[in-house]
Amino acid sequence: MLKSISLQNFRSYKKAEFNFSGGTTIVIGPNTSGKTNFIEAIFLLSTGKSFRTDKDTQMISFREDLARVKARVGDPSANSGQVTELEVIITNGQIGGKTSQYKKFLVNGVSKRRVDFAENLTAVLFSPEDLEIIVDSPSLRRKFLDSVLEQVDREYRLAVSAYTKALRQRNALLENARETGVRNEKQFEYWDNLVIENGELITKKREEFINFVNNEAKDIFDFVAFYDKSVISKQRLLQYKEAEVASGVTLVGPHRDDFSVSMFNPSTSSGQATTHDIKFYGSRGQQRLTILQLKMLELLFVEKKLGQRPVLILDDIFSELDEGHIKLILEMINLQQTIITTTHKEFIPANVLNKMQVLHFSKEQQKTG
Ligand SMILES: Nc1ncnc2c1ncn2[C@@H]1O[C@H](COP(=O)(O)OP(=O)(O)O)[C@@H](O)[C@H]1O
Ligand SMILES: [Mg+2]
């Protein structure tokens, strides 16, 4: 459970500290009052990354050199005072004229690698962007798969990190081969092995999650997921060898993965139930229900893997959903610590709101906390 968080020179925050009661915390504030910045800080403590930028330095307040986010996390059941301190420091690479590390992770003051830092605080985030998972481009669906698996699996985090680096190197070699017309086989061997080894592991774990999704009961909306994997292997790389040199990029592997979801239609006269891709045939409402179901399965997956519920974070999603959808979400907020942001408290029924810890954000207050 997240007990407190403090922000220093993080996005719009100069200095601020917040304590959480446990249960559900709701942040109410107008647009640009720093709600998503606040959520981004929690997500950073959970995963070591931002969910909205690949450029970490964007999280440092304008005109500052260093951002610091700290949190205290602890077991909600134990009143033993067992508390872990998490800290992320981001710099622009220069502190007082000296070069500094861009990103630093600390657990109880001890420096850690990102792969080991993540998992001290697990959180499942639901943001408006997620509502586009089904209809948007494959990259958003891959991002979804990564965010689920990186939460629970150190091996997966290591594989993604190694794969990304190896892919970059391999693409540079391919680009070079494209320009010169010569492919230096010796140079390729090392990177080929790395992308194959790590790529295979990523594929396997993604497949496990898709299977989990298909095997679990779905009481909100029933669908079946199809993993459209881009298999990487020695043989496949051989097969695409010439095309890769022609294009200058790696053409197969999990960076080209996708998945689709299909709903079941009532049996036809032949007695055969048919499935239809929700992206193309689902109504907006059915697409939303599918996302809600998918997010709940994500929570369940994390719980199954780690043996405890992650913190649920809902960033400004109520304005995007209708009453029925909101009701479905409110039914699950009591199952774990939940942090909600919203512009209008009216989205939440008064008797539900009564039981929540309320934080009011304003455009001015965030500067000082
Ligand atoms: N690095 C930064 N330094 C200072 N302010 C920032 C930085 N990045 C974003 N902001 C500011 O944060 C505000 C947006 O905050 P946000 O958390 O997205 O608001 P909302 O409450 O609508 O979710 C904007 O005014 C934006 O200019
Ligand atoms: Mg926002």
pLDDT value for 367: 55
Residue closest via CA to ligand 1's atom 9 equals: 11
**Ligand 2 centroid to residue 37 C-alpha, Å:** 7
pLDDT value for 291: 95
Chain centroid offset of residue 118 CA: 12
Nearest ligand to the C-alpha atom of residue 32: 1
Q: Which two tokens stand for residue 57?
A: 């330095």
**Ligand 1 centroid to residue 28 C-alpha, Å:** 15
**Ligand 2 centroid to residue 327 C-alpha, Å:** 21
Nearest atom, ligand 1, residue 343 CA: 21
Which residues have CB atoms below 5 A from the ion given as ligand 2? 35-36, 316
- E strand or H helix at 293: helix 284-306
pLDDT value for 265: 80
Q: What topology is assigned to 131-307 in CATH? A: Glutathione S-transferase Yfyf (Class Pi); Chain A, domain 2 (1.20.1050)
Q: Which of 42, 68, 59 is nearest to 122 (CA)?
A: 42
**Ligand 2 centroid to residue 169 C-alpha, Å:** 36
Nearest ligand to the C-alpha atom of residue 316: 2
Instruction: Tell which CATH classification among 3.30.980.10, 1.10.3720.10, 3.90.180.10, 3.40.50.300 matches the domain 1-122+309-369.
Output: 3.40.50.300
| Cβ of 11 below 6 Å from ligand 1 | yes
| Cβ of 31 below 6 Å from ligand 1 | yes
Nearest atom, ligand 1, residue 64 CA: 3
| Cβ of 47 below 6 Å from ligand 1 | no
**Ligand 2 centroid to residue 302 C-alpha, Å:** 25
Position 320: which residue type? E
pLDDT value for 78: 56
| Cβ of 36 below 6 Å from ligand 1 | yes
| Cβ of 33 below 6 Å from ligand 1 | yes
Query: What is the Cα–Cα distance from 214 to 259, expressed in whole angstroms?
Result: 12
Residue spans per domain, the chain: 1-122+309-369, 131-307
> For residues 24 and 340, is the Cβ–Cβ distance under 8 A?
yes
**Ligand 2 centroid to residue 326 C-alpha, Å:** 18
| Cβ of 39 below 6 Å from ligand 1 | no
**Ligand 2 centroid to residue 158 C-alpha, Å:** 30
> For residues 311 and 22, is the Cβ–Cβ distance under 8 A?
no
Judge whether 1-122+309-369 and 131-307 match in fold.
no
Query: What is the Cα–Cα distance from 263 to 225, expressed in whole angstroms?
Result: 9
| Cβ of 325 below 6 Å from ligand 1 | no
284-306 helix and 323-330 helix, angle to the nearest 10 degrees: 10
pLDDT per residue as tens, the chain (369 positions)? 999 999 999 999 999 999 999 899 999 999 999 999 999 999 999 999 999 999 999 999 999 999 999 999 997 665 667 899 999 999 998 887 888 889 999 999 999 999 999 989 999 999 999 999 999 999 999 999 999 999 999 999 999 999 999 999 999 999 999 999 888 899 999 999 999 999 999 999 999 999 999 999 999 999 999 999 999 999 999 999 999 999 999 999 999 999 999 999 876 667 777 899 999 999 999 999 999 999 999 999 999 999 999 999 999 999 888 899 999 999 989 999 999 999 999 999 999 999 999 999 998 765 554
| Cβ of 61 below 6 Å from ligand 1 | yes
pLDDT value for 369: 47
Nearest ligand to the C-alpha atom of residue 40: 1
Position 111: which residue type? S
> For residues 62 and 11, is the Cβ–Cβ distance under 8 A?
no
CA angle, corner 366, sides to 22 and 315, nearest 5? 50
Residue closest via CA to ligand 1's atom 2 equals: 11
| Cβ of 12 below 6 Å from ligand 1 | yes
DSSP letters spanning 260-280 = EEEEEEPP-TTS--EEEEHHH
From residue 62, alpha-carbon distances to 10, 13, 59 in Å are: 9, 10, 9
Nearest atom, ligand 1, residue 37 CA: 17
